[in-house]
């Protein structure tokens, strides 16, 4: 009898963990920034903020560390950023157009060189 209750309790615990894992909330970057800034304002304690937002304090502190590291990198002159998709498409099309232009000019230059004689006159 005791063996059965232990195994049913283990399966119930496993089921609860599975449900929690599937219903875990994901936070957007804006939400993370809002929460970290609220903690930095100091209007309420970090533990109260975390309870209100439904997150663990360790999660808050890891977000805070990432936030400060990103700010530190930005202030130290690291201005590199990810290119957006429309920018990448525009740059690729511009690059292709420039390559075609260079190819056309190179071909025209070679044809002119071949058509020239040694004295600089065109061959007829």
Residues 10-25: tens digit of each pLDDT: 888 888 888 777 777 7
* 109 domain-assigned: yes
Is residue 14 within 8 A of residue 21, CB to CB? The reply is: no
Residue 91 counted as domain residue = yes
**Cβ contacts of 115 within 8 Å, gap of 6 or more:** 122, 123
What's the rounded Cα separation, in Å, for the pair 73 and 51? 30
Confidence of residue 117 (pLDDT cuts 50, 70, 90): low
Considering 68-77, 81-90, 111-120, the range whose residues carry the highest mean pLDDT is: 68-77
- Tally the domains of the chain: 1
Query: Which domain, by its residues, includes 86?
Result: 28-115
User: How many whole angstroms separate alpha carbon 97 and alpha carbon 47?
Assistant: 57
In a domain, 19, yes or no: no
pTM > 0.85: no
Q: Which residue is listed with tokens 């970057």?
A: 29
Cα–Cα distance between 119 and 50 in angstroms, integer? 86
Residue 5 lies in a domain: no
pLDDT single digits (tens) 41-82: 999 999 999 999 999 999 999 999 999 998 887 787 755 566
Q: Is residue 11 part of a domain?
A: no
Question: Is 15 inside a domain boundary?
Answer: no
């Amino acid at each position: 009898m005791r063996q059965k209750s232990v195994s049913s309790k283990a399966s119930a615990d496993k089921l609860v963990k599975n449900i929690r894992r599937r219903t875990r909330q994901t936070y957007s970057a804006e939400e993370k920034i809002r929460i970290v800034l609220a903690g930095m304002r100091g209007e309420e304690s970090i533990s109260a903020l975390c309870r209100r937002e439904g997150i663990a304090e360790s999660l808050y502190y890891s977000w805070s560390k990432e936030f400060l590291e990103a700010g530190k990198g930005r202030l130290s002159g690291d201005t590199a950023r990810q290119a957006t998709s429309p920018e990448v498409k525009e740059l690729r099309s511009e690059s292709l157009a420039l390559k075609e232009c260079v190819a056309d000019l190179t071909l025209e230059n070679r044809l002119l060189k071949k058509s020239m004689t040694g004295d600089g006159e065109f061959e007829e």
